[in-house]
Structure 1
Amino acid sequence: MRKIAFIAAAAATALISTVGIAAEPAQQRFTHEGRTYVYTQTARENGKTLIEGHEVDSHEKFRLLVDGDRVRGTSNGYPVSFRTRSAVVASAAAAN
């Protein structure tokens, strides 16, 4: 479960590198512990950001909704929910 939360947190943190969101979400990627993950993100109303993706080799999926400092969603079919300062910064960047 800790691994799932860390992967979800890494995906939320990866939002920081995004300058803006285009009309068609671009696929992003990050690597953690030798595994590569790809995801897309879309801005939603009220400053919420949706992040959806999967691990490249196993195709384990994750879907996260960033709302302020709270991240909720699923990773590999398991529910995840956590607070992160990175999510606050990322949501602000996505809103611009």
Structure 2
Amino acid sequence: MLSKIFVAGAVSAIVAAAAPASAEEGKQRFTHEGYTYVYDVRDTKTGQVISGRRYPDAVAFNLAVKNGKVSGTSGGVPVAFKVEEARGASGK
């Protein structure tokens, strides 16, 4: 199960665009605390949707980013926090 800080750190890397693009079907990827996140980002009318999986355990996550807030699920667990909290968590 992912903790809020773990998910926040991962989202921070995504939101900050620190992850290089992968040639694998338009998906992006980055590694954080020993896990590799493979995801795509879709723009919507109200913000962005970040969907993907964390490996090696293939845990799925689906997050919506809008109005400075992140909400969604990671590993079936609801998560919600401010984008600014995610940026701060990446350095922990």
The residue that corresponds to 1:43 in the other structure is 43
> How far does residue 86 in structure 1 lie from its aligned partner after superposition?
7.3
Q: Which residue of 2 aligns with 1:29?
A: 29
8 Å contact kept, 2:10–2:32: no
Structure 1 runs, 4 residues or longer, greater than 3 Å off:
none
Q: TM-score, normalised by structure 2?
A: 0.72
- Which stretches in structure 1 are left out of the alignment for 5+ residues? 19-24, 88-96
TM-score (structure 1 length as normaliser): 0.69
Larger helix proportion of the pair = 1
Aligned partners of 1:4, 1:61: CA distance in 2, in Å?
14
Alignment of 1:45-84 (within 5 A): 45-46=45-46, 48-84=47-83
In structure 2, the partner of 1:92 is none
Q: Given that residues 51 and 64 in structure 1 are in contact (C-alpha distance below 8 angstroms), is that contact kept between their aligned partners in structure 2?
A: yes
Counterpart amino acid of 1:85? Answer: E
* Equivalent residue pairs, number: 79
Amino acid at match of 1:73: G
CA-CA distance at 1:12 after TM superposition: 2.5
Deviation (angstroms), 1:56:
2.0
Q: Does the 8 A contact of 1:49 with 1:65 survive in 2?
A: yes
**How far apart, CA to CA, are the structure 1 residues paired with 2:5 and 2:29?**
15
Give the AA of the match of 2:30.
Answer: F
CA drift at 1:11: 3.5
CA RMSD in angstroms comes to 2.2
Amino acid at match of 2:80: S
